[in-house]
Amino acid sequence: MQPIRNLFEQHFGASPQWLGRAPGRVNLIGEHTDYNDGFVLPCAIDFSTEVALCTNQSNRVRVFAANETEHTADNFQLDAITPDDSVHWRNYVRGMVLMLSDAAAQRGKKLRGMDMVIHGNVPQGGGLSSSAALELALANAINAAFDLGLTPQDMARLGQACENHFVGCNCGIMDQLISASANSQHLSLIDCRSLETRSVPLPTGFKLLIINSNVRRGLVDGEYNLRRVQCESAASYYGVKALRDLSLEQLFADADGLDATAFRRARHVVSENLRTLACAEALNQQDMQRVFKLMSESHTSMRDDFEITVPAIDALVEIVADALKGQGGVRMTGGGFGGCVVALLPDALLEPVKACVSKAYPEQTGLVPVFIETGAAAGAQAQPII
């Protein structure tokens, strides 16, 4: 807490009152299924975003983003919140403040002006949900400061609404919900329709290794939103509310007349839901070979049917898979078009895999990998700063 407290005092000349903290996430399996009302299996990671906050007596919100190298500040009025087309990070803050202001009004309360400092270590642009971590850290700090009485699920929904309606990314709720409600040392099997979650323990003797490909992603640039449109079009063709309601048998039996691209998108989602449920069951039964096979099949589906991988990511997955020799699982994780891969591997293989990737990946791609070792962390929280 002390570093962000010092930053706050240096920038605003006063002490913060509240600290909100929220983790990033990694998804073991279940990609692009959340906005199709399907199933996902993520966990929170040991990297988080913090928001130190103090109310002020004005109608103005002043923000300092400590991790930004330029455009580090923002300043806006609570009754005139509009998007900033020039500085992208500001829209997550503005959008969340707007969503929380509306939520407060629904509860007969009103936000006041705030000063806040943002600081964190979730890698940006790597598919580890730095945006959701920011949204939930903000939500927890503001919820506590104004005693709004929001539940973790409430705050997750507000984070998704911020992305969908203010930032312009039509994401599902997975990132926000796992950041809001994760259990330490566990993955969460999330039903993205009912928002029911079930804890799935990480297997003893295994580690999660996230490898950042250093191919930077850009979900708001259109491809993510296009995939959602394609999925919704396929669901409409089959006459179901969402692709979660479609079986593989129905998918193949009624495919005549559906264009080939939409069929592949639907095939990924339908099969990915089945893989995710099967993976959770296999983890509970400690059937690790089944888990590894499902992770491999998931990557193949993302590459061939959903077409969200890139050559460097595919090369990285192949390098890790060769090094694991069937003793671990690996796949791309996140929205796609760059970012990270995730491997579930025995403790003893951690260093050999890192050594292999450190040599082979730069040789094949000219890019330098970044290794992120993590456990499964707890979800977001807020606490007073005394």
Instruction: Return the active site residues.
Output: 175
Amino acid at 9: E
Continuous H helices in the chain: 2-12, 88-106, 130-145, 152-162, 174-181, 223-238, 248-253, 260-284, 288-304, 311-324, 350-365
SS3 content of the chain, % helix, strand, coil (to 5): 45, 25, 30
What gap in Å lies between CA 72 and CA 116, rounded to an integer?
Answer: 12
Q: How buried is residue 357: exposed, middle or buried, by Cβ count under 10 Å (0-12/13-18/19+)?
A: buried
Whole-number Å distance between alpha carbons of 7 and 52: 9
Question: Rounded to an integer, what distance in angstroms lies between the CA atom of residue 257 and that of residue 273?
Answer: 24
Q: Is the Cβ–Cβ distance between 81 and 98 less than 8 Å?
A: yes
Residue 82's alpha-carbon distances to 97, 118, 312, 361, in angstroms, are: 11, 20, 37, 43
Q: What angle (nearest 5°) sits at the alpha carbon of residue 92, between those of residues 89 and 94?
A: 105
As a whole number of angstroms, the distance between CA 37 and CA 86 comes to 33
SS3 45: strand
Contacts of 236 (CB under 8 A, 6+ apart): none
